[in-house]
Amino acid sequence: MADILRPASPVKQARVTIGDLGLALLPQKDLVSIGPFRGQADAVSATVKAALGVSLSSGFQEQDSPEGYAVFRAGHSQWFCRGPEGGMLEARLVALCEGRAAVTDQSDSRVRFSLCGPGAAAIAAKLVPVDLRASAFAKDCVALTLAGHIPVILTCREVLLEYEFLVPRSLAQSLFDDIHIAMKGGIPGSDPICSRADKGDYFIPSVEMDPRDDRNARA
Amino acid sequence: MRLTCPHCGSRGLEEFSYRGDATVQRPALEAPEEDWVAYVYLRDNPCGAHRELWYHGAGCRAWLVVERDTLTHVVHNVRAVCREETP
Ligand SMILES: [Zn+2]
């Protein structure tokens, strides 16, 4: 069998830490977008629920199944389904939703970061215009929004302590840098001290990966 | 200013773009030239209640009709342009 091309890491560093606050690239998983055709959302939801244990909820809250699948709504008539890497999720969903939804593999189009630790909400709040308090953005809440100028899908993993950013791969390094600047006390895009003086610090020309990253383990 | 998107909930203004007056009506094809000039170029500048088109470009990417008061800045209503919305 031919060798599979191994993708380059979307970011130069897979993890940075400032005090107890960490920003880390999360392992790749299968990610598929589902866009039900007009009037088909309920039927698609029921089908996906029967097969994967998760439905297409109309709320902006991620649903998880014990089998390792997650579904979340990320906009008007658009849902994402995430599953174990290499699980042929797209092929399964194409078969399940045939003629009733547009199904597209997004696994390589997006990158996930986790911002985790005390003060994570304060750092995230420098970038996203979302009210991150528990009353407005509880665990598993999802918002399609902007982090600065970068479109992201933000998920709360733990109120005030852990947030996940799903970002287009081509913008991953920019978002990583912006969050890193914010973690270091700066304000991305408007803080000349951080964006210049610290340049050597966060533009490290290294491709070192965190050993906890799946893909590094295989590399 | 915050707008409550019918799809995404309450969001900050930076996620939206103003896309024009929602009250203008496209004239009939055979309408006189003056009607077309008015449709393309002329806009009222109301002081008070107004209807505007907004685009939620950084969110659900839906076009919205916002009813708001240009004098008090109170937003009365935000709804999707498309009536037949799927959830
Ligand atoms: Zn919206």
Q: Where are the domains of chain B?
A: 2-85
Q: What is the mean pLDDT of chain A?
A: 86
Closest-CA residue to A155 (of A138, A173, A142, A174) = A142
Q: How far apart (Å, rounded) are the C-alpha atoms in residues B31 and B35?
A: 6
Chain A residues closer than 8 Å to B80 by CB:
76
Q: Tokens standing for A59?
A: 């709320």
pLDDT-based confidence at residue B85 (cuts at 50, 70, 90): very low
Give the end of a domain, one of A105, A128, A145.
Answer: A105
Assess whether A160 and A136 both reside in one domain: yes
Architecture of domain B2-85: 2-Layer Sandwich (3.30)
| CATH number of residue A42's parent domain | 3.30.70.1520
Percent of chain A with pLDDT strictly greater than 90: 70
A76 in reach of chain B (CB within 8 A): yes
Please give the residue range of the domain that contains residue A195: 15-26+110-217
Closest-CA residue to B56 (of A189, A35, A146, A141) = A146
Whether the Cβ atoms of residue B3 and residue B10 lie closer than 8 Å to each other: yes
Q: What is the pLDDT of residue A216?
A: 41
Q: What is the pLDDT of residue A211?
A: 47
Is A173 within the bounds of a domain? Answer: yes
The identity of residue A198, as a single letter, is: D
Assess whether A20 and A118 both reside in one domain: yes
Q: Tokens standing for B40?
A: 């393309």
What distance in angstroms lies between residue B1's CA and the mean position of ligand 1's atoms? 15
Q: What is the pLDDT of residue A217?
A: 40
Q: What is the pLDDT of residue B55?
A: 95
- Using DSSP's 3-state secondary structure scheme, residue A31 falls into strand
Q: How far apart (Å, rounded) are the C-alpha atoms in residues A194 and A191?
A: 6
Q: A141-169, pLDDT tens digit by residue?
A: 999 999 999 999 999 999 999 999 999 99
Residue in B7, B58, B87 nearest the CB of A151: B58
Flag the least confident range among A5-9, B1-5, B16-20: A5-9
Q: What is the pLDDT of residue A1?
A: 58
Q: How far apart (Å, rounded) are the C-alpha atoms in residues B83 and B32?
A: 30
Is A9 within the bounds of a domain? Answer: no
Closest residue in A to B6 (Cα) is A76
Closest residue in B to A39 (Cα) is B86
CB hemisphere CA count around A200 (13 angstroms): 1
Q: What is the pLDDT of residue A86?
A: 87
User: Residue B9 forms beta bridges with which residues?
Assistant: B5
A75/B87 touch (CB, cutoff 8 Å), yes or no: no
pLDDT-based confidence at residue B83 (cuts at 50, 70, 90): low
Residue B73 predicted with pLDDT over 50: yes
Give the end of a domain, one of A47, A79, A105.
Answer: A105
Whether the Cβ atoms of residue A108 and residue A85 lie closer than 8 Å to each other: no
Q: What is the mean pLDDT of residues A77-103?
A: 94
What distance in angstroms lies between residue A96's CA and the mean position of ligand 1's atoms? 28
Assess whether A128 and A206 both reside in one domain: yes
What is the number of structural domains in chain A? 2
Q: Give how far the C-alpha of residue B24 lies from the chain's centroid of Cα atoms, to the nearest Å.
A: 10
Q: B16-42, pLDDT tens digit by residue?
A: 999 999 999 999 999 999 999 999 999
Indicate the helix (H) or strand (E) that contains A124: helix A120-125
What is the b/e burial string over B46-82, where b = at least 16 CB atoms within 10 angstroms of the residue's CB?
eeeebebbbbbebbbebebebebeeeeeeeeebebee
Is A2 within the bounds of a domain? Answer: no
Q: What is the pLDDT of residue A191?
A: 54
Assess whether A96 and A137 both reside in one domain: no
Q: What is the pLDDT of residue A195?
A: 42
Q: What is the pLDDT of residue A43?
A: 96
Closest residue in A to B10 (Cα) is A130
Assess whether A76 and A130 both reside in one domain: no
Is A213 within the bounds of a domain? Answer: yes
Give the end of a domain, one of A105, A122, A138.
Answer: A105
| CATH number of residue A154's parent domain | 3.30.1360.120
Assess whether A40 and A128 both reside in one domain: no
A129/B61 touch (CB, cutoff 8 Å), yes or no: no
pTM as predicted: 0.80
Assess whether A87 and A99 both reside in one domain: yes
Q: A24-51, pLDDT tens digit by residue?
A: 999 989 999 999 999 999 999 999 999 9
Is A1 within the bounds of a domain? Answer: no
Assess whether A98 and A116 both reside in one domain: no
Whether the Cβ atoms of residue A27 and residue A213 lie closer than 8 Å to each other: yes
